[in-house]
Amino acid sequence: MRIIISPAKKMTTDTDTFTASGKPRLLSDTEVLLEYLRQRSYGELKNIWRCNDKLCELNFGRIREMDIRGECLTPALISYEGIQYQYLSPKTLESEALDYLQDKLRILSGFYGILSPMEGVEPYRLEMQAELCPTLEKASGEKFGNLYDFWGDKLYRQLFSDEDTVINLASKEYSKAVEPYLTKKDRFISCLFCEMKGEKPTQKATLSKMARGEMVRFMAQQKIEDIEGIKDFTGLGFSYNKEISDEKTFIFIR
């Protein structure tokens, strides 16, 4: 069983709390993206990143200084600082829970493709839905206008290389990088965290991010090894609703 989550836009450098272990497995593809970004003007990057000048200046500097194969890297799990990661709170987990995450958890990334928690990364900005304009062209002549085409089925193949079940706690933006390649034998279970609006379950973005972080923490602390154990999650007042769930979608209601 694997668990997938999204990255976060906000990142930090922390080489003191944990030591990074290993490099991202698709680093040669990341090098292609890094070179593409380094060749872009400030204005082109601002359009790709869709951010304000302060953030653009920060990341414009980062791409010129980053050493993605260096030794002074931050473990991916503590590099991201978004709401989901705040509720996961990896720095407070015991070693056995961290070992569980290293084995089970994978972080999808527009820049790195797919990451294990302790693989070393540099802070970056590149969301999966980013449009590559101008088009990225490889030496082989292949052209890519977006990151979904660039990564193709590589993330899917990494996830299902030795597993047939993936628990999807990623946002739609990132799960879209895997879902088109699923086969009938693959088990891909999405967990949704909702509140009832009348008779309809409705998701709220911030609350969903909080719940995803809590769910990952719960699974790590309880060392969940099968999908039935997921249904026991009660964090933030959520509980599994059997009536409106199905074999592909587990719905938790608060």
**CA dist., res. 108 & res. 170, Å (int):** 8
- Average pLDDT for 76-88: 98
Task: State residue 163's pLDDT score.
Answer: 87
- Average pLDDT for 197-217: 95
From residue 219, how far is each of 4, 77, 224, 231, 249 by CA, in Å?
Answer: 12, 15, 5, 10, 17
Q: Which of the 8 DSSP states describes residue 90? A: G
**CA dist., res. 74 & res. 54, Å (int):** 23
Model confidence over 137-182: pLDDT tens digits? Answer: 998 899 999 999 999 999 999 999 988 999 999 999 999 999 999 9
Model confidence over 215-243: pLDDT tens digits? Answer: 999 999 999 999 999 999 999 999 999 99
Model confidence over 37-50: pLDDT tens digits? Answer: 999 999 999 999 99
What is the identity of the amino acid at 78?
I
Residues whose CB falls within 8 Å of the CB of residue 34, separated by 6 or more in sequence, listed in order: 63, 66, 68, 111
From residue 167, how far is each of 105, 148, 186, 249 by CA, in Å?
Answer: 9, 20, 11, 10
pTM greater than the 0.85 cutoff: yes
Task: State residue 58's pLDDT score.
Answer: 96
Query: ω before 90 within 30° of 0 (cis)?
Result: no
Q: Which two tokens stand for residue 162?
A: 């030795």
